[in-house]
Amino acid sequence: MYTPKGHVHIYTMRKASGPPWSRNGYGMVFHGTNGKLHITRKDWEVIADAKDWNKPDQGYRTESFKKEGVDHHYDHVVNFLDCMRSRRKPIATIEEHFKTVAACHLANVSLRAGRKIFWDHQKELCFKDAEKTIPDPVANKFLTREYRKGYELSQV
């Protein structure tokens, strides 16, 4: 989907049939005008677009480069298992990650609604105005989905 200014933001997550670079199960790609930025827990890489994909010998729009790092996935797994035994809080708590996932979800809600939205975290509703007085029924319908019979989420 495209916004009126042409900016596209789509958050997706998959655990199967991913691109070859995600064989380790993690990664995020930001696509830009001249290439893309690929980030994993281990490293990051800027990958330039070709000047002309039909003529690869003409070079790239920018230089590509890669930054090696440390793979922190193993540390998270060990920490999670330790916390299962000790009942301590893990390095990366659900509460901390909820905010990140919610921001990505709300970006998609805004994109699908086709406009800027204003989020009220206490009411868990989208509004059309910064004062949060005009509910946004279009955006609010994208906050959840209709679940198949037998797979509904229980009310908390």
Q: What is the pLDDT of residues 6-64, one digit of tens each?
A: 666 666 666 566 666 555 656 778 777 778 888 777 777 888 888 887 887 877 776 65
Tell me the helices (H) and strands (E) count for the chain, helix number first.
Answer: 3, 6
Number of domains in the chain: 2
Residue 106, number of CB atoms within 10 A of its CB:
19
- Is residue 73 included in any domain, yes or no? no
Average pLDDT, the chain: 80
99 and 60 in one domain? no
Query: CA 78, CA 128: separation in Å to the nearest integer?
Result: 44
Q: Which domain holds residue 152?
A: 93-156
Where do the DSSP E strands lie in the chain? 28-31, 35-39, 44-48, 65-67, 118-120, 125-127
146 is a domain residue: yes
Asked if residue 129 has pLDDT above 90, the reply is yes
Answer with the one of 17, 49, 67 that is the final residue of a domain.
67
Whether residues 155 and 99 share a domain: the answer is: yes
Residues 63 and 3 in one domain: yes
Closest CA to 44 of 60, 18, 21: 21
74 lies in some domain? no
Predicted TM-score (pTM) of the model is 0.50
